[in-house]
């Protein structure tokens, strides 16, 4: 795509009302737009990142048998009344001109809804196990919506729900989901700690969170530097400097961002909403459930929080808005145009800075801020050698390569 | 995918509370689940259809320069106050436990929001034209949410917004959008009439709707049988049997479903929200805008309303949940398994009825109800000729073909 046609422009100043690095960089570079506290528009560059994250999530969740669907945001009172979650403060309720008494809440999670739906289709042990998921907008009335897109009041979430005949089968799937989550985060450039945590409003038992260590994070994680074992401070009896119970390694303490969580729900929701199956003897049994969440916007924020320098963002290639940023300098425009066409023909995901009214300095600064992992510059100087300058975003200096060879390398 | 693993099951009975053919078939076949009046979950089969419709929309809208993004559902009061649309009855307003006075409405359209965002990035005539769109959930407090997913209170919509220096440039783009819309609907199996209509809550001037003639439709369209000229009854002075002003053809009258609409907005929103640009002389001018909507769920409903018979749905191939429905009959299971693997390897989008506990009759009935356009049956009888029975959903009888040749045909 040509940068001259892009909807957004970068900004030199940090937004006044954002304290976190990720929100500052994402806003300045034109990935997000803050509409209200904790409520953001994902702009075209940001949407490309979110779509890449979503594609990775879909691949890994489909691979563990997840079937994608889409539940509604307007959740009727009867769902949350069934589990006593109707009056939790986190819910935004809906009123109309004619009805000031709310009968819907904006879905902040979908256990109740998916359980009622599953009850239409699950009757027998032969129907189990099953797993369904959605990538959908959630709404939560967060008291502190301060860390940019790390804690939104409206945010995109992947929520997966699994259904099992018994606890053993749930735990087997739970392990699969755990491995899928590690793959997702790793592919997106995030090192995560699998962290023991409390159940919040979801379950009485323990759950697990995937935590990314980062100073901006609102959680505190105790983690073993040797084996990676980790606990959330909220439920932990560990202290920094302790020895890890498993391996004897040293326990560290750090702020962290929760990018995902997995919950063994047991039969809480199936019992409340009448989801049961007939076992091999014909006896009715409650279905055993798990739920598994990932915040997509929060992942984007965490990636930026981890991958940046003082000039801007440094996207991991798998989630970068484009693979390559091509820059035309003065006097090389027509050659750059031709090269851009060749890159497009070769199927390379390229962003092309063809702006006639920007200086070389503005172009370089924008490229560093936007953070596409590979930069190509065509100038009068590089053309002397029929070449183009290639520079990785995290390298200080680039090197000159022949144009055709560059296309070959990038096509791989 | 194996049918034995599918989250949903078909149902023989029509849902009691649905009068429209599309809602009855989509619910019975397991494409949608009704949560509340006008509020539906899109189940895995339905989600596959919606994703195919979405992919076609993205292709055609990207081709006319649309850049995809995602705006928020929670729309702050200041946006709609600016245009006097805050207190329109269609809006669902949001309250919290601590704040019973609403300061957000659930977005039922996004002209105000996109205009404010555009004002950050559009400064000069050089920045124009631009077009951005989203595929996002809209919320409207419809008094009559009765025609299944044809009129939802919560529904997926593609909304495109375009920005221009003057009226002439808008009209040029409006024509491009019109052609893109015709392509989208045609690719999805819908014959639409481009229909002159009123502006509703959007604009004082005339607009255009894309109407599909169908008895269930809540609109009434006067259309010319010869040239296709059409007007919505709400603004029309035509009558059935009149002569068409343009070509002299006969005017017909029919109920119809509005699957899309395009609005020349002029400067209403840019003036209200301060979206202006500096022209070549440096004078500030309000930006001229257009907006363009398509309801994705409504499209799915309209397609089913048009493409069905007394046995079920007949999906057009471009939007079918799968391209091929493979059915294994008793005694041919292991051969069918092998054939299924070959189809998957050949990259064919296949749904495989491998259910051990279903009779041949149940399998055929389900296949007709679900409506995948091509059915393949493997039975002991077809295997005698190393063959498979191929039948198009709209044909009465099938024919036997060799297995390998079938894969070759389907791969094309």
Backbone angles phi, psi at B217, to 5 degrees: -60, 145
Nearest to B35 among A76, A92, A139 (CB): A76
Mean predicted confidence (pLDDT) in B284-304: 98
Q: CB A41 to CB B69 under 8 A? A: yes
Q: Looking at residue A188, what is its pLDDT?
A: 98
Residues 6 or more apart in contact with residue A81 via CB below 8 angstroms? none
Per the CB < 8 A criterion, the answer to whether B314 and B371 are in contact is: yes
- What does the pLDDT look like over B88-108, one tens digit per residue? 999 999 998 888 899 999 999
Nearest CA in chain A to B155: A72
Residue B394 maps to which CATH number?
A: 3.40.50.800
Determine contact, residues B301/B315, Cβ cutoff 8 Å: no
Helices marked H in A221-371: 268-273, 296-306, 333-345, 360-370
Residue A16: per-residue pLDDT: 85
pLDDT tens sequence across B329-377: 999 999 999 999 999 999 999 999 999 999 999 999 999 999 999 999 9
Q: What is the token pair recorded at A59? A: 């691949």
User: Across the interface, do A95 and B92 touch by the CB < 8 Å criterion?
Assistant: yes
Asked whether residue B317 is assigned to any structural domain, the reply reads no
Number of domains in chain B: 2
Size of interface A-B (CB pairs under 8 A): 155
Q: Which residues of B43-64 are buried (b: 16+ CB within 10 A; e: fewer)?
A: bbbbbbbbbbbbebbbebbeeb
H-helix segments, B307-397: 333-345, 360-370, 380-383
Do B17 and B77 lie in one domain? The reply is yes
pLDDT for B12: 92
Cβ distance A117 to B43 less than 8 Å, yes or no, reads yes
Q: Element (H or E) spanning B179, and its range? A: helix B167-187
Instruction: Out of B268, B283, B309, pick the residue that ends a domain.
Output: B309
3-state secondary structure of A289: strand
- B1: nearest Cα among B41, B32, B42, B47: B47
Q: Are residues A255 and A404 in the same domain?
A: no
Across the interface, whether the CB atoms of B69 and A42 are under 8 A apart is answered: yes
User: B114 or B205: whose pLDDT is higher?
Assistant: B114
Residues of B whose CB is below 8 A from A322 = none
When scoring A66, A94, A103, A155 by the number of chain B Cβ atoms within 10 A, the one with the most, hence best to mutate, is: A94
Q: Smallest CA–CA separation between B5 and chain A, in Å?
A: 7
Contact by Cβ (8 Å): B378, B317: no
At residue B18 the predicted structure's pLDDT band, cuts being 50, 70 and 90, is: confident
Cβ contact, residue pair A67, B74, below 8 Å: no
Q: Is there a domain that residue B316 lies in?
A: no
Cβ atoms of B308 and B24 within 8 Å: the answer is: no
Domain match, A251 and A112 both = yes
Nearest CA distance, B63 vs chain A (angstrom): 12
Of the residues A277, A309, A341, the one at which a domain ends = A309
In chain B, % of residues over pLDDT 90: 90
Residue B407 CA to residue A334 CA, distance in Å, equals 47
Cβ–Cβ of A69/B76 closer than 8 Å? Answer: no
Q: Is residue A316 part of a domain?
A: no
pLDDT for res B184: 98
A35, A75, A139, best to mutate vs chain B, most B CBs in 10 Å: A35
Residues of A whose CB is below 8 A from B40 = 72
CB contact under 8 A, B120 and A43: no
Q: CB-CB: which of A7, A41, A68 is closest to B72?
A: A41
CB-neighbour burial class of residue A271 (10 A; exposed 0-12, middle 13-18, buried 19+): middle
Q: Hey, are the CB atoms on A92 and B93 less than 8 Å from each other?
A: no
Indicate if B228 and B369 belong to the same structural domain.
no
Closest Cα in chain A, distance from residue B383 (Å): 29
Q: Are residues B295 and B359 in the same domain?
A: no
Mean of pLDDT values over B40-47: 98
Domain containing residue A336: 322-411
Q: How many CA atoms lie within 13 A of B260 on its CB side?
A: 28
For residue B178, is pLDDT > 70? yes
**Residue in chain A lying closest to B357 (CA):** A126
Query: Distance, in angstroms, between A155 CA and closest chain B CA?
Result: 9
Q: B145 pLDDT exceeds 70?
A: no
Q: With CB atoms and an 8 Å threshold, state whether A70 touches B42.
A: yes
Residue A314 lies in a domain: no
Chain A residues within an 8 Å CB radius of B8:
121
Task: Judge: B93–A98 Cβ closer than 8 Å, yes or no.
Answer: no
Residues B108 and B215 in one domain: yes
Q: What pLDDT shows up at residue A148?
A: 81
For residue B71, list chain A residues with Cβ-Cβ distance below 8 A: 35, 41
Pairwise CA distance, residues A301 & A296, whole Å = 9
Nearest C-alpha neighbor of B258 from the set B200, B218, B306, B223: B218
The contacts found for A191-196 with CB under 8 angstroms, 24 or more apart, are A192/A259, A192/A260, A193/A221, A193/A223, A193/A228, A193/A230, A193/A256, A194/A228, A194/A230, A195/A221, A195/A223, A195/A230, A195/A231, A195/A232, A195/A256, A196/A230, A196/A231, A196/A232, A196/A235, A196/A236
Chain B nearest CA to A191, separation (Å): 27
Distance between start and end Cα atoms, chain B: 20
* CATH number of the domain residue B69 falls in: 3.30.930.10
The encoded tokens of residue A1 equal: 């795509």
Residues A334 and A195 placed together within one structural domain of the fold: no
What is residue A201's predicted lDDT score, i.e. its pLDDT?
Answer: 74
Compute the distance between CA of residue A194 and CA of residue A210 in angstroms, rounded to an integer.
5
Q: Which of B309, B340, B357 is the last residue of a domain?
A: B309
Q: For residue B278, tell me if it sits in a domain.
A: yes
- Judged by CB atoms closer than 8 Å, whether chains meet at A132 and B76 is answered as no
B126/A357 Cβ within 8 A: yes
Q: How far is B67 from chain A (nearest CA, A)?
A: 6
Residue numbers in chain A where pLDDT is lower than 50: none
CA distance B350 to B31: 17
Same domain, A218 and A347: no
Q: Which residues in chain B have Cβ-Cβ distances shorter than 8 Å to A87?
A: 97
In a domain, A317, yes or no: no
- Residues of B within 8 A of A120 (CB-CB) are 33
B314 in a domain, yes or no?
A: no
Q: How far is B121 from chain A (nearest CA, A)?
A: 6
Same domain, B305 and B185: yes
pLDDT 10s digits, B401-411: 999 999 999 99
Claim to verify: residue A216 and residue A277 sit in the same structural domain = yes
Q: Write the ipTM.
A: 0.97
Chain B: residue whose CA lies nearest to A62: B1
8 Å CB contact between B390 and B382: no
In the prediction, which pLDDT does A333 show?
Answer: 96
Check whether residue B31 and residue B130 sit in a common domain. yes
Q: Say if B335 falls within a structural domain.
A: yes
Q: Rounded to whole angstroms, how far apart are CA atoms A343 and A335? A: 12
| Min Cα–Cα distance to chain A from B41, Å | 4
Q: Which of A46, A74, A118 sits opposite B39 (nearest CB)?
A: A74
Nearby residues of A15 by Cβ (< 8 Å), 6 or more positions away = A23, A24, A27, A28, A34
Q: Are residues B349 and B296 in the same domain?
A: no
């Amino acid at each position: 795509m040509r940068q001259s046609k892009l909807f957004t422009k970068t900004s030199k100043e940090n937004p006044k009302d954002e304290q976190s690095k990720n929100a500052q960089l994402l806003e300045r570079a034109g990935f997000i737009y803050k509409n209200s506290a904790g409520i953001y528009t994902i702009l075209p560059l940001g949407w490309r990142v979110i779509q890449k994250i979503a594609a990775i999530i879909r691949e890994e969740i489909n691979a563990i048998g997840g079937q994608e669907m889409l539940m509604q945001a307007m959740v009727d009172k009867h769902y949350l009344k069934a589990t006593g979650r109707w009056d939790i403060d986190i819910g935004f309720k809906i009123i109309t001109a004619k009805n000031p008494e709310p009968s819907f809440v904006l879905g902040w999670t979908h256990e109740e809804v998916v359980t009622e739906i599953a009850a239409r289709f699950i009757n027998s042990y032969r129907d189990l196990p099953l797993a369904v998921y959605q990538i959908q907008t959630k709404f939560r009335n967060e008291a502190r919506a301060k860390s940019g897109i790390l804690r939104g009041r409206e945010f995109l979430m992947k929520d997966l729900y699994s259904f099992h005949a018994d606890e053993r089968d749930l735990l087997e799937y739970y392990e699969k989901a755990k491995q899928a989550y590690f793959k997702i985060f790793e592919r997106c450039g995030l090192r995560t700690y699998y962290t023991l945590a409390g159940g919040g409003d979801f379950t009485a038992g323990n759950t697990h969170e995937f935590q990314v260590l980062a100073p901006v994070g609102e959680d505190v994680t105790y983690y073993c530097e040797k084996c990676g074992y980790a606990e959330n401070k909220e439920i932990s009896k560990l202290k920094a400097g302790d020895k890890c119970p498993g391996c004897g390694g040293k326990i560290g303490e750090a702020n962290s961002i929760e990018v995902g969580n997995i919950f063994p729900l047991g039969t809480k929701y199936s019992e409340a909403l009448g989801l049961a199956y007939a076992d091999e003897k014909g006896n009715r049994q409650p279905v055993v459930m798990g739920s598994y969440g990932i915040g997509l916007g929060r992942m984007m924020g965490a990636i930026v929080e981890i991958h940046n320098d003082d000039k801007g963002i440094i996207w991991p290639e798998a989630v970068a808005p484009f693979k390559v940023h091509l820059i035309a300098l003065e006097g090389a425009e027509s050659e750059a145009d031709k090269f851009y066409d060749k890159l497009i023909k070769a199927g390379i995901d390229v962003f092309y800075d063809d702006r006639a009214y920007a200086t070389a300095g503005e172009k370089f600064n924008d490229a560093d801020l936007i953070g596409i992992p590979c930069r190509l510059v065509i100038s009068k100087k590089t053309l002397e050698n029929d070449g183009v300058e290639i520079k990785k975003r995290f390298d200080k200096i680039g090197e000159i390569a022949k144009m055709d060879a560059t296309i070959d390398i990038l096509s791989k």
